[in-house]
Every structure is written in structure tokens, then in C-alpha cells.
């Protein structure tokens, strides 16, 4: 008889793990995901990706508003799971669910734990300029992403990857590692390895205002932020009354612009060059607020008011990225 699994996940990152469990023949007795949320201009509730996938396979779906409510806990444990598997669910899993199933709960996390514990590990790895990352399967404990490691797989971060591209790749990697690890874990063949607390770091949830670019940072740090903040919340700056979402950028040496102060627009040609705290930030592709994506050259053809020597607007204190 296949093991009974309760799966808990919400965004697109979690879908490959759920698919892998189904394809591997596990008895997924319940899929727990976040409630439908309003989205877009219409404000109509939209189901999360995990719900859409689960419904297509006829899996039973449960969407509690608060996972820690006793009624929600009873509903989940009533399915008598052997193990709970989570991947980017979006709420803290309470102790009764961690301890209720015979094999507890395990989690698929998109970093090389103990680095980047938290809700946005992919974004923060990119924003910190990491050259490698990976996925980790942990046995869950009450502390956030702090449980002992069951398995881990490392990969390089490639220069073209932003958060969307890297997260999609890690989702598939995590799903593969999950179905390799779970049978061995259930057979008692894995000795969990405690995390090294001295090496821990955190990846807190990002907010919309975290997308504001601070040109006191180096050009390279700004490029890392563009990669980490794409697609959400998006990396942006404001100038001449417009908010500009930066989609593709690179860092250059100061060159002839060494005397310019940070935040100064130093060149408007086929690209937009802005002096940073160190180096020059080069915008190649962008999206003006309320308009389509375009190259910097396309954008500048319609912007006669933009002038070299002007300063971009500094971020407000509320917009300065934490960490």
C-alpha cells in the first residue's frame, strides 16, 4: 500500500513537487493550499497554482484561512497521513501537524540551508551576489527552516538568471530530490544532520517598496537587485515624474564619469547610464509604469525632457531595502 501523504504548498514553485509525488505513486490524500486571493484590476479571486494542478488530478483540496486553527488541524489529521510534505506553503506549520503523522513533516526549501532561511530564498541569494545555491529537504521543526537536513543538492547560479528563471529551475530540482529522498527517509535509511547555526542567514518576505533602487550602492549590487527582484516586486527608480521598472541591466566601471555623484544620469543613448556609489549602472531594458516592456533606446526616443546631469529621485526611508 502506498504511503499516505498530505501535501502543503501554494505557488508555482510547489507544483513540481506535488506532481512528482503523484507520478511516483504516493497516495496524496489531501492538498492544503492558501485561499483564493483577489488579483488584477478586476479583483476577482484567483486560485493558487497548486490548487489548479490538484483539481486537474481530482485531488482533494483544503484551503484554511488560518492553519493553526484547531478545526483546520483536525481536518488535516483526520486524513491519517504517514507524512506531511510542504513546499512554499506560506504559513507556519503548527506543532500538532509536525508531530501528528508517524513520520512528521518534511519541507522542500530553495536554498542551501542554513543559508537563506525564510520566505524569499531565491531573491535574496541573487541580491547577495551568490554564485551557487541549491535545494534542501529538511525534517520540519517549529523554528523557521531550522530542522535537520535530510538531503541537499547544489547548483551554480548563471549570469542570465533572475528570480523567476532560477526559482523555476530550483522547483524542478527540489521535486527530483524530494522523490529520491522520501522513500529512503520512510525506510529509516537517512540520519538527519543538524544545521550549523553559526552559518545561518535569513531571507525575509519582500514588500513592494523593497523594489526601489538606491544608487548609493555599487553598480554591481544594483544589478544583483534587479535580478533578485524580477519579476516581483520589481526593481525600479523614478525620474522626471516617471517610475521606471528595470528589467535588464549591467555594471560598468566609472570611466569618464568618475566625477559624477551617485544617482546622476550620465548618458542617454541606446542605454541609460546612471552613476552609482561605485561604477555605472547601465539600463538596457525597462518598463515604464503602465506601459509595455521596451529597450532603453525605444524609451528614450519619446523622452525629450530627460537630460544628462539630472538626478534620479532618491528612495524614501520606507523604500530602502532591508538587510
The correct answer on CATH 1.10.10.10 for the domain covering 4-199 is no
Decide: residue 204, CB within 10 A, 0-12 exposed, 13-18 middle, 19+ buried.
middle
CB 142 within 8 A of CB 100: no
Q: Would you state the pLDDT for residue 194?
A: 98
Q: Within 10 Å of residue 55's Cβ, how many Cβ atoms?
A: 13
Q: Is 111 annotated as a binding residue?
A: yes
Distances in Å between the Cα of 256 and the Cα atoms of 4, 161, 200, 266 are: 65, 30, 41, 9
Q: Would you state the pLDDT for residue 129?
A: 98
Q: Would you state the pLDDT for residue 239?
A: 96
CATH homologous superfamily for 208-319?
Formyl transferase, C-terminal domain (3.10.25.10)
Give the integer Cα–Cα distance in Å for 36 and 210.
25
Q: Is 18 annotated as a binding residue?
A: no
pTM tops 0.85, yes or no: yes
Rounded to 10°, the helix 15-23/163-186 angle is 40
Q: Would you state the pLDDT for residue 315?
A: 87
Q: Is 192 annotated as a binding residue?
A: no
H or E element at residue 220: helix 219-229
Q: Is 49 helix (H, G, I), strand (E, B) or coil?
A: helix
Q: Would you state the pLDDT for residue 173?
A: 98
Q: Is 112 annotated as a binding residue?
A: yes
Give the integer Cα–Cα distance in Å for 258 and 254.
5
Q: Would you state the pLDDT for residue 317?
A: 61
Domain map (residue ranges) of the chain: 4-199, 208-319
Q: Would you state the pLDDT for residue 302?
A: 80
Blockwise average pLDDT, block size 10, the chain, 323 residues:
92 98 98 94 92 98 97 98 98 97 98 98 98 98 97 97 98 98 98 98 96 97 98 96 97 97 97 98 96 96 92 77 52
Q: Would you state the pLDDT for residue 318?
A: 57
Q: Would you state the pLDDT for residue 255?
A: 95
Amino acid at each position: 500500500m502506498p504511503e499516505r501523504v498530505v501535501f502543503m504548498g501554494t505557488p508555482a514553485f510547489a507544483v513540481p513537487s506535488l506532481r512528482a509525488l503523484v507520478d511516483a505513486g504516493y497516495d496524496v490524500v489531501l492538498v492544503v493550499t492558501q485561499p483564493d486571493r483577489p488579483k488584477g484590476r478586476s479583483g476577482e479571486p484567483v486560485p493558487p497554482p497548486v490548487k489548479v494542478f490538484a483539481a486537474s488530478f481530482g485531488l482533494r483540496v483544503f484551503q484554511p484561512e488560518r492553519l493553526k486553527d484547531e478545526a483546520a488541524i483536525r481536518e488535516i489529521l483526520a486524513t491519517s497521513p504517514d507524512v506531511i510534505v510542504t513546499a512554499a506553503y506560506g504559513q507556519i506549520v503548527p506543532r500538532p501537524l509536525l508531530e501528528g503523522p508517524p513520520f512528521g513533516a518534511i519541507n522542500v526549501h530553495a536554498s542551501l540551508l542554513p543559508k537563506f532561511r525564510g520566505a524569499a530564498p531565491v531573491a535574496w541569494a541573487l541580491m547577495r551576489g551568490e554564485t551557487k545555491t541549491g535545494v534542501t529537504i529538511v525534517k520540519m521543526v517549529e523554528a523557521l527552516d531550522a530542522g535537520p537536513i535530510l538531503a541537499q543538492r547544489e547548483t551554480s547560479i548563471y549570469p542570465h538568471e533572475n528570480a523567476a528563471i532560477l526559482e523555476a529551475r530550483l522547483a524542478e530540482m527540489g521535486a527530483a530530490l524530494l522523490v529520491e529522498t522520501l522513500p529512503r527517509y520512510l525506510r529509516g535509511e537517512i540520519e538527519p544532520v543538524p544545521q550549523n547555526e553559526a552559518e545561518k542567514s535569513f531571507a525575509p518576505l519582500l514588500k513592494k517598496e523593497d523594489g526601489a533602487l538606491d544608487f548609493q550602492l555599487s553598480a554591481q549590487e544594483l544589478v544583483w537587485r534587479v535580478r533578485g527582484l524580477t519579476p516581483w516586486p520589481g526593481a525600479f527608480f523614478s525620474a522626471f515624474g516617471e517610475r521606471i521598472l528595470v528589467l535588464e541591466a549591467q555594471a560598468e566601471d566609472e570611466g569618464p564619469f568618475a566625477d559624477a555623484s551617485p544617482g546622476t544620469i550620465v548618458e542617454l543613448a541606446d542605454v541609460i547610464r546612471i552613476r552609482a556609489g561605485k561604477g555605472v549602472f547601465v539600463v538596457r531594458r525597462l518598463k515604464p509604469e503602465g506601459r509595455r516592456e521596451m529597450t532603453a533606446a525605444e524609451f528614450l526616443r519619446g523622452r525629450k525632457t530627460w537630460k544628462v546631469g539630472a538626478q534620479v529621485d532618491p528612495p524614501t526611508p520606507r523604500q530602502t531595502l532591508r538587510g
